[in-house]
Structure 1
Amino acid sequence: MSEDREQERAEKREGAARPVTAAARRERRASARQVAPETGSDQTESAKADSAKVVSSNGKTTQSKREQGQETASRDRKAKRPNVFKRLVRFLREVVAELRKVIWPTRKMLLTYTIVVLVFVAVMVALVFGLDFAFLQGVTFLFGK
């Protein structure tokens, strides 16, 4: 059942292909921003104007808050935090949402992984025991009893 969900997710991901290369990501970001070009003699002023004026999706040019004379929100101001119960409920909702994303192993996979771990631990215990015994024999040979 979980394998079916994995396959469905993979099919959805193929539909919304993400750019693989950095150049493709930059191109996608640039096309999404659509900065309006401005001609000016001073290059730095032109760059400031380009960053301040942005073409919105409906084609109108807007100015940044700084250009309009409005101040941006400072970092020192803290937003009001909801009460403890609302935060707890939100946390639990997010936990459940994350657990739904988990691909749980099947019984066969779980059994296989458990056996692999137990065999690995047994081998490591045997290795440590062997080295410990060898060093004990070496020390007793050198220093005697």
Structure 2
Amino acid sequence: MSDERDGAVSAGDGTDTPDEGDTGSPTAVVTRPQRPSGKRSRREGAGTAAAVVADTAKNGDGKKPKKPKAAKTGPSRNPITFVINYLQQVVAELRKVIWPNRKQMVSYTTVVLIFLAFMVALIGGVDFGFAKLITLVFG
């Protein structure tokens, strides 16, 4: 145990009645974790003062040091290769789709058509009501 609790009243020693200023229990310090900063260097624990100074160091001419360009590893610039790659990815994604069976498709279509008929009737009724109201007001 820590030194803070050595003189504190423990829960099982029978002294449950606190004195005038004493609550009978030791006070605990609650610490919360730091909120994420969003910076990778701070999230990975590399945010020490030395690392920050090294990251923000400048050359003698006042400019940041340039990093060497990495070799291209991305997609090629050939449009035919791009289209072929795109179609292969489309086929791969379509294989992951869980297609509904006939019973599900009929029930989903029925629900959509009923909802569509309801919305058409609702909007048509409101439009008809506003038309009647305007003819009453303006003659």
Q: TM-score, normalised by structure 2?
A: 0.47
Give the helix-richer structure, 1 or 2.
Answer: 1
Between 1 and 2, higher relative CO (CA 8 Å, sep ≥ 6) is seen in 1
Rg comparison, structure with higher value: 2
